[in-house]
Amino acid sequence: GQQVMQIPQYQHVQEGEDFTTYCNSSTTLSNIQWYKQRPGGHPVFLIQLVKSGEVKKQKRLTFQFGEAKKNSSLHITATQTTDVGTYFCAGSKASNTGKLIFGQGTTLQVKP
């Protein structure tokens, strides 16, 4: 079945350092979404990528969708303590409407 793998599982960085999490799918995706979950909270939508090779930026966050639409990445420049949380990617196959599958998540810790 459809699988979405995310690495690394955990990342500890010093405040000001950069951070990247990677997402890989076993199948071609129609779109990929990214979510952030603060400790004790629920996932909150960050962005959706649809086009092959698409790059989107939100302030210090840069999101990429691979050319083959099987992988994606989230890069945070100059991390801040407010970036702490777990980042999830979630993908949907074109033929599996409704089956949005999440990766295992990357938990980011930022040391001040």
Q: Which is nearer to another protein, 17 or 47 (CB)?
A: 47
For residues 50 and 82, what is the distance between their CA atoms, to the nearest angstrom? 27
Do residues 69 and 28 lie in contact, with contact meaning Cβ atoms separated by under 8 Å?
Answer: yes
| 3-state class percentages of the chain: helix first, strand second, coil last, to nearest 5 | 5, 55, 45
Token output for 102: 């999440």
Compute the chain's Rg from CA coordinates.
Answer: 13
Q: Please, which residues bridge with residue 11 across strands? A: 108
43, 49, 72, 79: residue in contact with another protein (rule CB under 8 A): 43
Q: Which is nearer to another protein, 22 or 102 (CB)?
A: 102
Q: Which is nearer to another protein, 90 or 108 (CB)?
A: 90
- Using CB under 8 A, count the residues that bind another protein: 26
Q: Taking the complex as a whole, how short is the minimal distance between the CB of residue 102 and another protein, in angstroms? A: 4
Q: Which is nearer to another protein, 77 or 84 (CB)?
A: 84
Report the interface residues with another protein, using CB under 8 A. 1, 6, 9, 30-31, 33, 35, 42-45, 48, 50, 88, 90, 92, 96-105
